[in-house]
Amino acid sequence: MAYAQRNSDALTDVAVSPLPTLSTSLLASARHVYKNYCQVHLHPQRPLGVAVNCETYRGQLIFSGQPILLPHEQFVSMEALDHLESELAEEGL
């Protein structure tokens, strides 16, 4: 998650990356958790993202509110997973 702070004294804009840099193994783990969820449920509700434990790579789907993460967890948004899916589709994977 990226934060930008507005300084009233300086009129500079801070460029904020829309997608944080995530490791490929973290993205793969989040993708796996989401794919399993979609296979099990006939009409899956779209989550906000997946909270992934960076040590064990186990994940939990987040459906509502602001995710509260433990220090060893990272949030992978559905936007990041959609971006990954589009890249994989372009590569033919």
Report pLDDT digits (tens) over 56-85.
Answer: 999 999 998 888 899 999 999 999 999 988
Q: Can you give the pTM of this predicted structure?
A: 0.72
Residue 75 belongs to domain spanning: 24-91
Q: Is residue 3 part of a domain?
A: no
* Integer angstrom CA distances of residue 2 from 21, 28, 32: 11, 21, 24
Helices (H), the chain: 24-40, 78-91
Asked if pLDDT for residue 12 goes beyond 60, the answer is: no
**Rounded Cα distance, 43 and 3, in Å:** 34
Q: Is residue 66 part of a domain?
A: yes
Q: Is residue 8 part of a domain?
A: no
**Rounded Cα distance, 59 and 85, in Å:** 18
Q: Are 28 and 59 in contact (CB under 8 A)?
A: no
For residue 11, the one-letter residue type is L
Total count of domains within the chain: 1
Q: Is residue 60 part of a domain?
A: yes
